[in-house]
Structure 1
Amino acid sequence: MSTVHLGLSLGHATDAEAEHWLATHLPAVPGLVACTHNVPAPHPHVALSVAAPERVVLPGTDPGLRAAADEAAARHRDRVSGRAVVFPGVESLTGALTAADILDRSAIERVTVLGGTDAGPDALIETRDFVRPLFRAGKLELVLVPVVGGRFAPFEVPNPTPCCADH
């Protein structure tokens, strides 16, 4: 069975907007992977890509955003970029887990510490119940940062403080 790759661009301004759309509109299909992609044209926005073992029905993309949608689908298909929001096993990545647990329970293929070093199988990761791996060099990779107590956490935080929020 071959995987179907689709792109969609609805002009979302932020990852949060795009994730909300995915959560409320994406059909539940086993094996489905959905990603966000920051794209520059025709204006900076977040496009979406979906890979599924069967065709899923998505809304049409405005012709002015079609190139962005096609780019997102191609990058996902080629596994060169994309921030995975929906992927097999994501629902089981809660609480504190080892790197080995994450690899065993989900579609994530590599767990690294910021800078590129592989996390050891026993590395303890505080997931914060928010795991957003990236496609990099053909693999779905979760990037970690060190946190207190010799543990790690995903690089992306669930509720980031906007840059210059105190100005």
Structure 2
Amino acid sequence: MTPAASVPYVLGLDTGTTTLREADHLLRALAAELALPEGVFGCTHLVRDGRPRVSLSLAAEAEPVLRTVRDRLTEQGYEVSEGAPDETGRAVLFPGADVLTGTLTLAELLARSAIDRVTVLGAPGEPAPETRLVTREHVRPHWQDGRLVLAAMPATGGTLVPFEDPNPTPCCADH
């Protein structure tokens, strides 16, 4: 689910971006340009209609914050709507995102950020709080049932890494 369950004001933004990387950069640029406060959530959403693309959502606890954002984005020519495009946004901007660098224990990750829990692909149950996560400076949790959840996978030395690779190899790169 989008932050709407806990953050009541949500805007959707169709920018025409076609890749997650492009959408991530745009979200960060807009956050800086609009001087968004720390508590704003910024998510990407895959749109699979006749024109596949990545749309964005911004969510905040205070309606005036997003009213100003809506006005400024509309002036810039963006298509802005009420609500998020779907309920499973991929969070790029969220409280604590900027401090999730280097290697952290899962307990530190959960204490420092808005992430509610961590799952490990192929593993039953929750990982131990002392498990170390190598962030690769690229932590992208998803909204699931109103909670921000980071999918991780096992890595060397008993550590975990976020499932999403910051530098993915394009499909068929060697063909």
1:107 and 2:114 equivalent? yes
Match of 2:161 among 153, 157, 160: 153
Query: Cα–Cα, structure 1 residues 148 and 2, in superposed 2: closer, same or farther, change >3 Å?
Result: closer
- Paired letter, 1:8: L
Query: Cα–Cα, structure 1 residues 5 and 138, in superposed 2: closer, same or farther, change >3 Å?
Result: same
Report what 1:9 is aligned to. 14
Task: Normalising by structure 1, report the TM-score.
Answer: 0.86
The CA deviation string for residues 39-63 of structure 1, in whole angstroms up to 9 with x for no partner, is 112411000011012333142344x
Alignment of 1:22-101 (within 5 A): 22-26=27-31, 27=34, 28-54=36-62, 55-56=65-66, 57-58=69-70, 59-60=73-74, 61-62=78-79, 73=84, 75=86, 80-101=87-108
Structure 1: where are the runs of 5+ without partners? none
- Paired letter, 2:160: F
How much does 1:142 deviate?
0.5
State the distance in 2 between where 1:110 and 1:2 align.
18
The count of aligned residue pairs is 157
Q: Percent identity?
A: 45
Task: Normalising by structure 2, report the TM-score.
Answer: 0.82
Q: Which has the higher contact order (CA 8 A, sep 6+)?
A: 2
What do you get for the CA RMSD once the two structures are aligned? 2.0
